[in-house]
Structure 1
C-alpha cells in the first residue's frame, strides 16, 4: 500500500482571524477550487466548522465524471488547525491537515495531505501522470486565488 503526501505552504498578508474565518468556512471551498471541477456542496456547510461535521460534495476531478465526495471534519482547534478526512470518494485514503500560524506581516498556511490511490498497482501507475499533476494543479489554483483575494505577501 503506497501512501503519498502533498505538502504546501503559503503566506498571506492577513490576520489569523481573517485567515481562519475564510479557510474554516466550508462554503469557501468552492471559491478556491477550479471552476472546471464542477464543485458543489450538497450538505453540511450550513454551520461553522466543528469536529464531527460531515460535508457532502459533488466534484468532477477527471474526464468530466461527477463523483460524490463525503468528508468528515475530525479535529478542530480554533485559529490553529483542522483536519478533514474522506469517508467516501475518489481516494482509498484522504487525510488533509490545515495549519495556520501567525508570522510577522500575516499568517502562514500549511497543508499536509496524505492520500492513497485506489486500484492497487494500477492506481500507482497512473499517479505520476494523472493524479499527482491534477492535485498540484488544484493547489496551484488555490494559491493564485488566495493571492487574488487577499493580496501578495511581502516579506517584512
Structure 2
C-alpha cells in the first residue's frame, strides 16, 4: 500500500479566535474549495461548529467532473488548536487530515498535514505521481488564496 503525506503552512493576518471560528465551521468549507469541485455538504442538520464524532457527508467532483460521495468524521478536536478529519467513505484507502493553528506574534500559523493512501495499489501510486500530488497542491493553493482574500495578507 502506497502511503504519502502532504504538508502546507500559511501565515494568516488574524487572531486565533477569528481563524478558529472560520475553520471549525463546516459551512465555510465551500468557500475554501475550488468551484470546479462542485463541493456540497449533503449531511442534514450540520452544526455550526465541529466536534469529535461529527460525521459530515459531501458530494464533490475531485477529478474529471465525476461526482463522488465523501464522508468524513471529525475524530479529534482541541479548541483553538487543532482538529482532525478522517475519511470514512470516499476515494482513498486512507485519508487523515490534521488542521493545526498556532499563534504567531502578529497572526496565526495554519498547518495542514494530510496523510493519505490512494486505492488500487501500484496504479494508485502512479496516479499519485501523475495527478493526485498536483491536485492537492492546486486545492491547497486555492485555499491559501481564499484565506488571504478573507483575512488579508500576512503582515509583520
TM-score (norm 2): 0.97
Aligned counterpart, 1:39: 39
SS at match of 1:122: helix
Deviation at 1:126, TM superposition (A): 1.4
TM-fit CA distance, 1:88: 0.3
Match of 1:18 in 2: 18
Partner of 1:27: 27
Distance in 2 separating the partners of 1:117 and 1:42: 24
Q: How many matched pairs?
A: 155
Partner Cα separation in structure 1 for residue 118 and residue 13 of structure 2: 35
Contact 1:72 1:85 in 2 (8 A): yes
Tell me, in whole angstroms, the C-alpha distance in 2 between the residues paired with 1:92 and 1:105: 39
Give structure 1 stretches of 5+ with no counterpart.
none
Report the TM-score when normalising by structure 1: 0.97
The one-character-per-residue Cα deviations of 1:67-93 (angstroms, maximum 9, x if unpaired) are 000000000000000000000001110
**Matching of residues 18-97 of structure 1 within 5 Å:** 18-43=18-43, 45-97=46-98
Q: 2:27 touches 2:48 (CA, 8 Å); kept in 1?
A: no
Whole-angstrom CA distance in 2 between matches of 1:131 and 1:107: 28
Tell me how far apart the structure 2 counterparts of residues 87 and 65 of structure 1 sit (CA, whole Å). Answer: 19
Verify the 8 A CA contact 1:25 1:45 in the aligned structure 2: no
Runs of 4 or more above 4 Å deviation: none
Gaps of 5+ in 2: none
Counterpart for residue 3 of structure 2: 3
Worse-superposed segment, 125-134 or 86-95: 125-134
RMSD of aligned Cα (Å): 0.8
